[in-house]
Amino acid sequence: MAKQKEYFLLPEVYEARSSKGSQVSLRPAFFVLKSMCFDHKRDLFEGVLNVFLIDEEHPSDNLKLVQPVTVHVRATDAQSIPNTLSISHANLPDTSINFVMQSPMDSVKVLLLTSDNRDGYEVNIPVSPAIRLDFPKHPLQGFGIEQIEVAVSLIGVSTGKPVTVGLVATNGIVNPTAIELKPGEIKKVFFRSQRSGQGVLDVQAPGMAPGKYEISYVLPWIFILSFLLGVLLGAWINFVRQPQGTPDKGKKTFWHYLKTGLPFALLLALLYALGINPISYIFPTYSHFSEIITLAFSALIVGGGISVRIKK
């Protein structure tokens, strides 16, 4: 295939008749309008290939053809829209073919099949490397209550030097804020909610299009409910495990255990949700939010007679 300016010519010539009755010689041509670029919102790559029939003797004429020329499109592991072209005019405007693919690597192989070449002419659409973020899509508990793991990967390229990826959080906290990635490598960072509404996580890397990910927040009703159930459970445990035979006057009420344990439990539960575990000596630290963890933690604080140990 010979290259002319910004487009490529296929080694074929079609003798066609225009609607004006003239005989024209046409050659199929193509050019890559858009390389395979990553769409962060749709989580896939998109590219565009344009095809047209050129009358090299009269490239500026827009002639309609009596009989259209058909070109079939085949792509390896990619969806092409459309997959069959019926071109009924010479020269411009060209016809666009959109390609969509989940995880291409380096380039996407496309075949243009014509009436003269059923095996097809090979065209390679280059892939622009990108940074992908993978994380749970459910809304986070707001006000710093919930933290999630975010998987960061360099996609679209199989070889190359490591790149430095920068992460910037708006109305949220990301840690760490910069990592080094090799092609095909996956590393994890942590993102924590902040206040209410919505957080934004921007990702940037040299030579790559920036990406913006939006993360919705909700009021931490699940945290509050889990905490209250845990406090009630802990108070009930304290109430029923009082020694048998204790005089009624000496017995403490359920309400007593509830009101004395709630403030302390609330303080420690909030610290735990923010990543600070004052009772790490008996309760493990988990990096993610869980209703069961919150319930168990609160119940343990109220019902277990827990004290805080300060390391010296």
Quote the domain boundaries for residue 72. Answer: 2-126
> Is residue 149 domain-shared with residue 258, that is, in the same domain?
no
The verdict on whether omega for the bond into residue 247 sits within 30 degrees of 0, i.e. cis, is: no
Per-residue pLDDT of the chain (312 residues; tens, 9 = 90+): 444 447 899 999 999 888 888 889 999 999 999 999 999 989 999 999 999 999 988 888 888 999 999 999 999 889 999 999 999 999 989 999 999 999 999 999 999 999 899 999 999 999 999 999 999 888 998 988 888 999 999 999 998 899 999 999 999 999 999 999 999 899 999 999 988 899 999 999 998 888 899 999 998 888 889 888 988 988 888 888 777 655 655 577 788 878 878 888 888 888 877 778 877 777 777 776 677 888 888 888 887 755 444 443
Helix 254-273, helix 291-303: angle, nearest 10: 130
> Is residue 106 domain-shared with residue 34, that is, in the same domain?
yes
- Identify which of 89, 101, 96 has the alpha carbon closest to the alpha carbon of residue 73: 96
> Is residue 266 domain-shared with residue 246, that is, in the same domain?
yes
> Is residue 165 domain-shared with residue 253, that is, in the same domain?
no
The verdict on whether omega for the bond into residue 82 sits within 30 degrees of 0, i.e. cis, is: yes
Q: How high is the pLDDT of residue 239?
A: 82
> Is residue 34 domain-shared with residue 83, that is, in the same domain?
yes
69 found inside a domain:
yes
Q: Quick one: tokens of 294?
A: 């919150």
Q: How high is the pLDDT of residue 246?
A: 59
311 found inside a domain:
no
DSSP string, 37-53: EEETTTTEEEEEEEEEE
Q: How high is the pLDDT of residue 273?
A: 79
Q: How far is CA 1 from the centre of its chain?
A: 38
> Is residue 54 domain-shared with residue 84, that is, in the same domain?
yes
- Assign residue 169 the CATH number of its domain: 2.60.40.10
> Is residue 43 domain-shared with residue 105, that is, in the same domain?
yes
Total domains present in the chain: 3
> Is residue 263 domain-shared with residue 193, that is, in the same domain?
no
Measured between alpha carbons, how far is 167 from 186 in angstroms, rounded to an integer?
Answer: 15
Using the 3D structure, point to which of 218, 235, 267 is the last residue of a domain: 218
> Is residue 105 domain-shared with residue 43, that is, in the same domain?
yes
> Is residue 16 domain-shared with residue 108, that is, in the same domain?
yes
Residue 71, beta-bridge partner list: 85
Using the 3D structure, point to which of 96, 126, 156 is the last residue of a domain: 126
Q: How high is the pLDDT of residue 182?
A: 92
Give the list of residues 6+ apart from residue 160 with CB closer than 8 angstroms, or none.
129, 183
Using the 3D structure, point to which of 74, 97, 126 is the last residue of a domain: 126
pTM for this entry: 0.76
SS3 assignment for 10-36 = CCCCEEEEECCCCEEEEEEEEEEEEEE
